[in-house]
Amino acid sequence: MATQVDTSNTTPTGVAAPSYWRGVWDNHAPGYLFLLPWFIGFFGLTIGPILTSLYLSFTHFDLLTAPRWAGVENYVRMFTNDPKFAASMRVTFIFVIFSVPLKLAFALGVALLLNRGMRGLPIYRALFYLPSLLGASVAIAILWRQIFAGNGLVNQVLANFGIIGPSWISNPNTSLWTLIILAIWQFGSPMIIFLAGLRQIPQDMYEAASLDGAGKWRQFWKITLPMLTPVVFFNAIIQTIEAFKSFTPSFIISGGTGGPINSTLFYTLYLYNEAFGFFRMGYASALAWVLLIIVAAFTAFSFLTSKFWVHYDD
Amino acid sequence: MTTEADRLTVVTTASPTRKRVISIVSHALLIIASILMLYPLLWLLAASFRPENEIFTSGISVLPSINWNLESYVRGWNGLRVSFGQLFLNSFIISGLSVIGNVLACSLAAYAFARLEFAGRRFWFAMMLMTLMLPYQVTLIPQYVLFLNLGWVNTFLPLVVPKFLAADAFFIFLMVQFFRGIPRELDEAARMDGAGPWRIYWKIILPLSTPVLATAAIFTFIWTWDDFFGPLIYLSDLRQYTVMLGLRTFVDSTGMSDYGGMFAMSVLALVPIFAFFLFFQRLLIEGIATTGMKR
């Protein structure tokens, strides 16, 4: 590639041709110069730290004294002798397994409804999107704590029907569900992506189908859904990774503890507490690497299986 | 939009009355869903203006109280040892600098990926895409150690400097997509006139890219404004706290007694985001629709 570009860039006759190296410099240096800030960040803040945290995950490190080599001790402890690790895994997987499909189902359902040529689409779309935009804020987590508290909004509604609700936040059986509902509440951004995807489906496919006598239901299963699978795939991956990384709601709603009885102990919250509460930086690094492996494995698995269910045009 | 729907009506055999009923039912469903979704927000807004003793006695009402006042705002504003004014200033400084950093650094990188030919371009582009998927936890601790050794902990630097190093690769991707859509003939013409890559970037690409730069700026602002984890780790002096960190302190210290103040400050914390939503809604929604953003 390099030499091709070089030869095409010879100067007009009459002017002395620049040396070969001058050509190489002219052709490649600008790219690298423009990328310079990114390179500094990429090596200094991403690649370097990833490798360092891999190393730290095999050590005991308290930030004050030098890391002590520990071999695979951190990993062994994690999987054999750490009930909190097991609890946080359980909580996080339940959160991901319930919040992501439900959120996507809502997003798709509302998008389909809106895509019927509804009047006022921009208004509905904006209203449904608003929670997505605000939802990550600490302010919303505080509001959520209040809504599901013993004297909160939900129980006041229930009281109108003569039901005395529990404190949903401080009951370990329901606390995680308040967080799942908070995640579902933010279905707006995948909904917008679904809407954009729906608009890409050529209308004549539907016309042809209904001329052939296919009803709405059949059209949905035979045209809409298959044509939309790339968008479903994309949304599922993004939302799953986001769900694994979720931190703020569980931190605020549980007051940083992951309680009651570890019922909202998200994996990221456990990692944070190990690192910055107990200064077990080696162990926290090992936790981070396990998270990376889970996310990478999930992504790889999704891409590998995608050819069996994701429909591409070609 | 409507014309497409009309064309469909011609083809399908459903009677006009049935169409009408379906339309009314759909609207009813959507309106109920909107109200349900926005109800908590409306309740928060109403509660923030109520006298303290009415917050829990007015039930689920979102109507303004006849005794409405700004006491909660005054109490909340001064609810911590440091005024919330300082926290808002801090948040604005951090978010503002992040916007500048992201727009500059990401557009530089995006220009290189979208327009310049150099050895290894595909490889580095793939590397950049890989970092999109990376959970931040895996770089967290070494970054903390690095910033600690640089003496940057308890300053704004760890929150802002990475933005100037294009650490938010997502925005590079966003801009590459946009830059690729700008006709290359414009570059060629400028090159004929003797413009180098820097001039082309500055005089042609950037001025033609205001929509994507604005989208990146707005999302950077909102995400930085909302960011809780970064400030939680790097800031420990109350005078340097961001609004979000202040809210959390509020919950821990006085939140159990002063609900009004806490709600009022929560409302204020949401105001800048809501303002962006109000004024730049189209840009935000288009940004999400074309690139598939997580939020």
Q: Which residue of B has its CA nearest to A45?
A: B143
3-state secondary structure of A169: coil
Mean pLDDT value across residues B42-57: 86
**Interfacial A residues in 58-117 facing B (CB < 8 Å):** 63, 110, 113-114, 116-117
Q: Decide if pLDDT at B143 tops 80.
A: yes
Arithmetic mean of pLDDT over chain B:
87
Neighboring chain A residues of B162 at a CB cutoff of 8 Å:
41, 45
Q: Which residues make Cβ contacts (< 8 Å) with residue B235, sequence separation at least 6?
A: B154, B156, B159, B241, B242, B245
Q: If pLDDT is split at 50, 70 and 90, which confidence band does A128 have?
A: very high
Q: How confident is the model at residue B252, as a pLDDT?
A: 79
Would you tell me how many other CB atoms lie within 10 Å of the CB of residue A104? 20
Least confident residue range of A13-22, A81-90, B164-173, B279-288: A13-22
Q: Does B105 touch chain A (CB under 8 A)?
A: yes
Summarised one tens digit per residue, pLDDT across range A231-277 is 999 899 989 999 999 999 999 988 888 878 888 999 999 999 999 99
pTM: 0.88
CB contact under 8 A, B139 and A50: yes
Q: Does A153 touch chain B (CB under 8 A)?
A: yes
Q: Decide if pLDDT at A146 tops 50.
A: yes
Instruction: Please say whether the beta carbons of A234 and A314 come within 8 A.
Output: no
3-state secondary structure of A262: coil
Q: If pLDDT is split at 50, 70 and 90, which confidence band does A312 have?
A: confident
Least confident residue range of A54-58, A139-143, A220-224, A295-299: A220-224
Residue A109 host element (H or E): helix A83-114
Highest-pLDDT range among A254-258, B58-62, B95-99? B95-99
3-state secondary structure of A69: strand
Q: When comparing pLDDT for B257 and B126, which is higher?
A: B126
3-state secondary structure of A283: helix
Q: Does B141 touch chain A (CB under 8 A)?
A: yes
Q: How confident is the model at residue A17, as a pLDDT?
A: 57
Q: For residues A114 and B9, give the distance between their C-alpha atoms in angstroms, rounded to a whole number.
A: 16
Residues in chain A: 314
The shortest CB-CB distance from A49 to any of B128, B135, B142 is to B142
Q: How confident is the model at residue A10, as a pLDDT?
A: 45
Instruction: Please say whether the beta carbons of B264 and B73 come within 8 A.
Output: yes
CATH T-level topology, domain A77-309: MetI-like fold (1.10.3720)
Q: How confident is the model at residue A4, as a pLDDT?
A: 43
Sign of CA dihedral B193, B194, B199, B205: positive
Q: How confident is the model at residue A194, as a pLDDT?
A: 92
Summarised one tens digit per residue, pLDDT across range B220-241 is 999 999 999 999 999 999 999 9
Q: Which of A25, A26, A34, A116 to mutate to test the interface with B (most CBs of B within 10 A)?
A: A34
Q: Decide if pLDDT at B1 tops 60.
A: no
Angle, in degrees to the nearest 10, between helices B121-133 and A281-309: 110
CB contact under 8 A, B269 and A138: yes
Nearest chain B CA: its distance from A82 CA (Å)? 20
Nearest chain A CA: its distance from B254 CA (Å)? 13
Neighboring chain A residues of B11 at a CB cutoff of 8 Å:
206-207, 210-211
Summarised one tens digit per residue, pLDDT across range B177-230 is 889 989 999 988 998 998 889 999 999 999 999 989 999 999 999 999 999 999
Summarised one tens digit per residue, pLDDT across range B111-121 is 999 999 898 99
Q: How confident is the model at residue B222, as a pLDDT?
A: 93
Give start-end residues of each CATH 1.10.3720.10 domain in chain A: 77-309
CB contact under 8 A, B40 and A126: no
The two structure tokens encoding residue A44: 């200094």
Q: Does B14 touch chain A (CB under 8 A)?
A: no
Q: Which residue of B has its CA nearest to A30?
A: B197
Q: How confident is the model at residue B9, as a pLDDT?
A: 46
Instruction: Please say whether the beta carbons of B229 and A248 come within 8 A.
Output: yes
Q: How confident is the model at residue A211, as a pLDDT?
A: 87
Q: If pLDDT is split at 50, 70 and 90, which confidence band does A11 have?
A: very low
The two structure tokens encoding residue B122: 């595909």
Mean pLDDT value across residues B26-37: 90
The two structure tokens encoding residue B32: 């109920």
Q: Which of B54, B91, B139, B200 to mutate to test the interface with A (most CBs of A within 10 A)?
A: B139
Q: Decide if pLDDT at A117 tops 90.
A: no
Would you tell me how many other CB atoms lie within 10 Å of the CB of residue B105? 25
Mean pLDDT value across residues A216-224: 87
Cis before A172 (ω within 30): no
Q: Decide if pLDDT at A143 tops 80.
A: yes
CA nearest to A289, candidates B148, B141, B229 = B141
Supply the Cα-derived Rg of chain A in whole angstroms. Answer: 26
Neighboring chain B residues of A244 at a CB cutoff of 8 Å:
135
Neighboring chain B residues of A146 at a CB cutoff of 8 Å:
259, 263
The shortest CB-CB distance from A143 to any of B12, B44, B137 is to B44
- Domains along chain B with CATH numbers: 2-69 (no CATH), 84-291 (1.10.3720.10)
